Amino acid sequence: MRIWWLSIILAIIYGCQSKVDVSQPTPQPLKLKTILVLPFEDMSVGHGENLNARCPVCERVFITGEVEDTADSFLTNQLIVWLQKNSNYEIAVSPISLDSQALLYSSNETAGLVNRKIADLGRRHNADAVLIGFLYRFKERVGKGYSIESPASVAFGMHLIRVSDQRTVWSANYEETQRSLGENVLLLGQFLKRGGRWVTAEEMARAGLEKILKKFPMS
């Protein structure tokens, strides 16, 4: 009983606030064999921090923030490992990002034009679809697990574009900033699952990635 009450008391102190958005526009079988995975794009580079950044594929607007130097490679590697372990697709990996190939959208381009560029890239790699991710925030916590100065915060999105018709057949966006549970006591379960502590940005991003990939389309 004392342990239960202690959990409740601690829960008032810590918590998290997350937003998950996963969509699959087409219910038909995708009939894909090979997926080209592009490295995550760091959107803070072109937009700066604490500014609005529009996703070039789904056109959703995110607020950019600090991005750790290795965050893009961390997410890309986590994504590839998950796909190789949990899907039957043939995974082709591009070592060069869309931006590095001078194909990244400009602020004037429509999502349709961006999809066409991405599909053309997939076609050159003999892929049936291209999976691309955009990273908006990857801010590490400041402090230790049970006492911090500022919490971790992450925001990223992923999109699967089919090469044959340049259509986005799956999209997922994830945002989270850990906050006091006093702001939302309904987050008790998530708090207890994380051991009643402030998590790191990598822990947060890995958990978010696994959550949205559970709904990744399988052939």
* Burial 75-109, CB ≥16 within 10 A → b, else e: bbebbeebbeeebebebbbbeebbbeeeebbeeee
Return the percentage of the chain with pLDDT > 90, whole number. Answer: 50
Question: Rg of the Cα trace of the chain?
Answer: 19
In the block, which residue shows the tokens 């890309």?
Answer: 76
The DSSP result for 170-195, as a single string, is: EEEEEEEE---GGG-GGGHHHHHHTT
Domain 2-213 has CATH 3.40.50.10190: no
Domains of the chain: which residue ranges? Answer: 2-213
Whole-number pLDDT of residue 111: 74
Q: How far apart are CA 204 and CA 206, in angstroms?
A: 6
Structure tokens at 145: 């697990």
Whether pLDDT at 89 is above 90: yes
Residue-wise pLDDT tens digits, 115-125: 999 999 999 99
Q: Sorting pLDDT into bands at 50, 70 and 90, what band is 141?
A: confident
What average pLDDT does range 44-54 have in this prediction?
A: 82
Distance from chain centroid for Cα 165: 24
3-class SS of residue 218: coil
3-class SS of residue 18: strand
Residue-wise pLDDT tens digits, 176-212: 988 755 554 445 555 555 556 778 999 999 999 999 9
3-class SS of residue 202: helix
Q: How far apart are CA 115 and CA 104, in angstroms?
A: 10
Mean pLDDT computed over every residue of the chain: 80
**Cβ atoms 138, 176 nearer than 8 A:** no
C-alpha closest to that of 44 among 77, 19, 68, 78: 68
CB-count exposure of residue 10 (10 Å: 0-12, 13-18, 19+): middle
Whole-number pLDDT of residue 14: 41
